[in-house]
Chains A and B, each alone.
Chain A
Amino acid sequence: MERDGSMTDSVVMRASDLENWSTGAPDGARVRNAPAGDIEVVDLNAWFGNHRALRDVNLSINGRAVTAIIGPSGCGKSTLVRCLNRMHEEVRGARVEGKVLFDGRDIYAPDVDPVEIRRRIGMVFQRPNPFPTMSVLDNAVAGLKLVGGLSRSELRERGEWALRAAGLWEEVKDRLHEPGARLSGGQQQRLCIARALAVEPEVLLMDEPASALDPASTLRIEELVQELKERYTVVIVTHNMQQAARVSDWTLFMLYGEVVEFGPTSKLFTRPDDQRTEDYVTGRFG
């Protein structure tokens, strides 16, 4: 009950946030107008030890749009998204071959620093993972502190901006100094989104961001994704086909580590080219 009330409030609030987004962003925040965030995946293969999780994936992800990756468990969708910001290699025994061109440049080129890539391509994980020892505000600006060079007041300003962008500000503005772990699950996940947005990435990767959340929180995250695509390239992995249909412009269907079909969401869900896609989206397996 209570949740419903607060939700309508903040939806209204967020519409105004959007207007403020370009004008209200603090001076330090650069205004984004360059076409950015196109990702081109070329012959990508990934392994966990001897297990090949991705097989010759080729793909063009459009900037400033939402691309959903769907497929049954174990089809490699998480692996694919984790290859896009070089997180895959952090797992012991994991290995990648192939290219991922980000704005024309291969992020797997030897002279590329994965740290730099991860600053430009942010990520939100399946389970909310705020830093338990940090306050709400400190969590939001954790990435900015890494970059350094910002005063306390600037940090606070940027933190507020990020929390607004994640649609969380109204709920936490009086609790900024409480531990981040004390928020509800849905709030924690939006805090993680705020944390990812605060460093102003060009791309936001979301690995099943709502699968650990209740329906109301899921709805909020989905609304948020819709807003984010105005400014970011969003790639969202989801188990939930309705969710993919609701939030995405493009959908990628994967099976056994291979791309089966990639196309506009409306087409993929209504007139898929591949029989396997049709079987999956109509619920015949998976």
Chain B
Amino acid sequence: MGASDAPIVEKAGAPARRRGRTRVGDAVFKGMTRIVAFGLVMLLVLMIGVLAADGVRPFREFGWRFLIGRNWNPVAGRQSFGALPFIYGTVVTSTIAIVLAVPVAVGLALLLNEVARGWLANIVAVLVDLLAAIPSVVFGLWGVFVLQPAMDRTIEPFLANTVGKVPLVGPLFRANVSGGFQGGDVFTAGVILAVMIVPIVTAVGREVVSTVPRDLREAALALGSTRFEMVRMAVLPYSRSGIVGASMLGLGRALGETIAVAMVVGNSLGIHVSLFNGGYTIPAVIANEFREASSEGLHKASLLALALILIAIALMFAALSRLLVRRSAALVSGGPAPPATELARLEGAA
């Protein structure tokens, strides 16, 4: 207990205090993140719970036939509800959108990141981003007044005369049940959706493509690859999982898009092979009918059940994409360390 001890105690005290403060900060931080995370999960559970509370009624009423029923009749007394036309319409329009949008978006991402440089790339990039800023109801209007007439008069007859004659895929591109091409149809809706999701898939795709290590690009170039071969050899294989992820993001938006689709899809219950027939999607029917559905009736419960099914479809696609991503990520694991050191070293010469 000599006087010489005092400074030592003081020295030891300062860091201890600091450590104590960090612990409090950690605890607060931990608590806050827990609350937020828990709250978010609760929100999801609550939402699904509320949907399910009423949404199970049609399943109780019709059993599994609710899922495969093709009839949807809300008229009192003759009520009958089947979800299949909506499931079909939702899946088909979204699939068309993905099939059309992903190649375009990947091409755009590669163009902007690998080929075009300077002002041209900037202009295109800005235009693509602007596309994302257009409200969907405007897309719908454009669809009704511009795209749909063009489809009916020119594009669909042309497709029917060309692709329609190819075996296997041909039947998808034939005249509709009334023998012509008039009216809203799932193909037009798919095209609109494709235009709508191109910006997001392109933006994410560009991010993905830009993470390809410089090492790999140079490896390909040093072997004597052209720019295109370099993309095929180094860029695309490396970014495959990311591109799948980007596509799934686009798909998510396509599945949930409501108003633009409702304006051009035809809103009819048929399920036909040809894509030039009208259809109906889950978001569209919910938006169109929620007002008419009485609060206690089976109609409302059926709409809620459709919402549940929509969530299930989205989750299924998400799970599928996880699976795809994991598979291609397994190939890349153990790959080279992050990029940029080569560039840093080169520029270190500066």
Given A90-B218, A129-B216, A132-B238, A143:B349 Cβ within 8 A = no
- Contact yes or no, B224 A116, CB < 8 A: yes
Residue-wise, chain B 81-106 has the 8 Å CB interface mask toward A (1 for contact) of: 00000000000000000000000000
Given A48-B347, A53-B349, A142-B233, A132:B334 Cβ within 8 A = yes
Whether, in the assembled complex, B77 has its beta carbon less than 8 Å from a beta carbon of chain A, the answer is no
Chain A interface residue count, CB cutoff 8 Å, equals 45
Whether, in the assembled complex, A61 has its beta carbon less than 8 Å from a beta carbon of chain B, the answer is no
Residue-wise, chain A 176-195 has the 8 Å CB interface mask toward B (1 for contact) of: 00010110000000001001
- List A contacts of B216 (CB < 8 A): 129, 131-132
Whether, in the assembled complex, B182 has its beta carbon less than 8 Å from a beta carbon of chain A, the answer is no
Task: Give min CB distance, B181 to chain A, whole Å.
Answer: 44
Residue among B213, B219, B220, B346 with the highest chain A CB neighbour number at 10 A: B219
Task: Give min CB distance, A91 to chain B, whole Å.
Answer: 6
- Contact yes or no, B332 A122, CB < 8 A: no
Complex CA distance for A57 and B8, rounded to whole angstroms = 63
Contact of B337 among A82, A87, A127 (CB under 8 A): A127
- Contact yes or no, B234 A118, CB < 8 A: no
Complex CA distance for A91 and B342, rounded to whole angstroms = 10
- Contact yes or no, A132 B332, CB < 8 A: yes
Contact of B218 among A117, A125, A134 (CB under 8 A): A125
Complex CA distance for A76 and B348, rounded to whole angstroms = 10
Task: Give min CB distance, A194 to chain B, whole Å.
Answer: 12
Complex CA distance for A192 and B224, rounded to whole angstroms = 14
For residues 46 through 70 of chain A, which have their beta carbon under 8 Å from a beta carbon of chain B?
48, 51, 53
- List A contacts of B222 (CB < 8 A): 85, 87, 118, 122-123, 125, 196
Residue ranges of A at the interface with B (Cβ–Cβ < 8 Å): 48, 51, 53, 73-76, 78-79, 82, 85, 87, 90-92, 115-120, 122-123, 125-134, 142-143, 146-147, 179, 181-182, 192, 195-196, 199, 257
Query: Which 5 pairs of residues, A with B, have the shortest CB-CB distance?
Result: A132-B335, A119-B224, A143-B223, A133-B237, A129-B215
Could you list 6 further interchain pairs (A-B, Cβ under 8 angstroms) beyond the known A146-B225, A181-B333, A199-B223? A48-B347, A79-B349, A123-B222, A125-B222, A126-B342, A196-B222
